[in-house]
Structure 1
Amino acid sequence: MEAAVRPVGWRSLVGAGLATLVCLAILLGLGTWQLQRKAWKEGVIRQIVERSRIEPPLAPPAPGAWNPASDEFKHVRATGRFQHERETLVHGLAPGEVPGRALQGYYVITPLARDDGPTILVNRGFVPTELRDPAARAAGQVTGPVTVTGMLRASEPRGLFVPAPNPEKGEWYNRDIPGIAQALALAEVTPYLIEADATPNPGGWPRGGQLRVDLPNNHLQYAFTWYGIALCLVGVFGAFAWTRLRPQAGP
């Protein structure tokens, strides 16, 4: 006698189907959100590039007029005298001669005293560890009036895994404008600093032009990932439903 064939009812799929729909909606929502973030990030990158290419360079804004949202990354020029005796070194890395191999050293932050406004901290650029001592790069300790061209930057927040500074020992790990200004006993200083451009310094150090405006934009990759997971979910549920609904042999 042949075995009877009986289908499994679709009602057995209701629970799994609802759960699948909920997960599918979440995954599609995440993918769409990443596409929206991609469009936003591209707008930010475009805005930064446009600000950084302003010609001729602007005068630095007055402290009370500074607005990080609209002023950061603007191309500016300032004239004054470097106070090298108040130089501050901030631990950092810079691209080396070999691609993918970074140099370890410091960013040189030096106050620029101006006649036409408050002091501005200037990130003059990078020096390797062996040039930490200013005497080892004496040619770069220029005196007299200088003109600095670069981009405005807001104070750099300290990340979760960034060590706390030790002003007494001169150990800094982020470009903390208020903290550095207080440690240097600067009476009046702007709430921003200038990242110097790649104009060579005498002797070659510090080496400016270290600022990169190419922000990471991986949102399209993330969107494809979420959409891919959603597609896999549909495939898994389809296979599950097929095994539940196909005719099965019974007694």
Structure 2
Amino acid sequence: MSKTRTATSKAGGTHSEAVRAPSLWLMVLSVIAFVILIALGVWQIERRAWKLALIDRVEQRVHAPAQPIPSPASWSAISAANDEYRHVSVSGRFLHDRETLVQAVTEEGPGYWVLTPLKRDDGTLVLINRGFVPSDRRDPSMRRDGNPDGQVEITGLLRMTEPKGGFLRNNVPQHNRWYSRDVAAITAARGLHDVAPFFVDADAGSQIAGGPIGGLTVIRFPNNHLIYALTWFALAFMLAGRFFVTFGGGLFRRKRFVQEPAGGSDAAARRTGSDAGTIVEPT
């Protein structure tokens, strides 16, 4: 929809100016986009608060005194939210002939995690990530001195199973190629039973001379939510500014003085001066 205003200059010339009203659909889409951007910013603020609370909980668990691992009766209730990274202890005997090597990249370089079942006195098993070995020590015969036969006590962090795979690759149990610490798949491939649904990352205090290097657990939670929130809010206010520039003239147009053509039918009656104009309100 448009309207035309006709004006006369002192020299007596006339010209027409067309003013178009803002597109209703464009206005609606702009408002919707603004609301979505603000909502995304608020969501990132909420995510940041959640992440900070998670980091605080994990810090408390990691530095708490070691507690015995959960009993088998409670294994079905174990969850990442409530239990991962708990500082735990467990004792038993290693089943070194059932160990599994999982590809890893650590501060020590590329190599393998050594996951070994630990048989407890009650007959249940817990997979222990004993630590890291470089590729040239993957053969158990090269680290026999670090494989104790008797009763051991392990302290470390409770970790949740890592199903399917890692490094963008899937585990291949039939070829003994492992890229993640998938407890269910490893226990099935090794013919184990009564195994805890989690594993334990052994700490440096559980390291045995000549054995894998323990205590290399990396605890890192990326927290870029504030940057994301500021980005969404900035985009929202940029959109609002553009909206005002584009539509502000049409939405907030003031009354204007418009010159009537010289010699108009009622011009003489309304004039108060030689070249006074008629007040016309835009509709």
Calculate the TM-score normalised by the size of structure 1: 0.85
Matched, 1:64 2:63: no
Q: Are residues 161 and 91 of structure 1, via their aligned partners in 2, closer, same or farther at CA, if it must alter by over 3 Å?
A: closer
Q: Give the corresponding residue for 2:37.
A: 27
Q: CA deviation at 1:15?
A: 3.5
Q: Are residues 193 and 220 of structure 1, via their aligned partners in 2, closer, same or farther at CA, if it must alter by over 3 Å?
A: same
The 5-angstrom pairing of residues 82-121 of structure 1 reads 82-96=94-108, 103-116=109-122, 118-121=124-127
Matched, 1:52 2:59: no
The one-letter amino acid paired with 1:38 is R
Structure 1: give runs of 5+ residues left out of the alignment.
Answer: 97-102
Residue 18 of structure 1 is aligned with which of 21, 28, 45?
Answer: 28
- Number of aligned positions between the proteins: 239
Asked which structure has the greater CA Rg, the reply is 2
Q: CA deviation at 1:163?
A: 2.4
Q: CA deviation at 1:90?
A: 0.7
Measured against aligned partners, the alpha-carbon deviations of 1:162-210 in whole angstroms (never above 9, x if no partner) come to: 3232223221111111111111111221111111112263445411122
SS of 1:199's equivalent in the other structure is: helix
Distance in 2 between residues matched to 1:202 and 1:238, nearest whole Å: 69
Distance in 2 between residues matched to 1:117 and 1:219, nearest whole Å: 46
SS of 2:68's equivalent in the other structure is: coil
Residue 174 of structure 1 is aligned with which of 173, 180, 184?
Answer: 180
How large is the Cα RMSD of the aligned pairs?
A: 2.5
Q: Give the corresponding residue for 2:221.
A: 215
| Partners of 1:38 and 1:219 within 8 A in 2 | yes
Q: Are residues 240 and 48 of structure 1, via their aligned partners in 2, closer, same or farther at CA, if it must alter by over 3 Å?
A: same
Structure with the bigger RCO (C-alpha within 8 Å, sep 6+) is 1
| Partners of 1:60 and 1:76 within 8 A in 2 | yes
SS of 1:225's equivalent in the other structure is: helix
Measured against aligned partners, the alpha-carbon deviations of 1:47-69 in whole angstroms (never above 9, x if no partner) come to: 122122221x1111122303213
The 5-angstrom pairing of residues 118-129 of structure 1 reads 118-129=124-135
User: How much identity, in percent, do the aligned residues show?
Assistant: 39
Calculate the TM-score normalised by the size of structure 2: 0.76
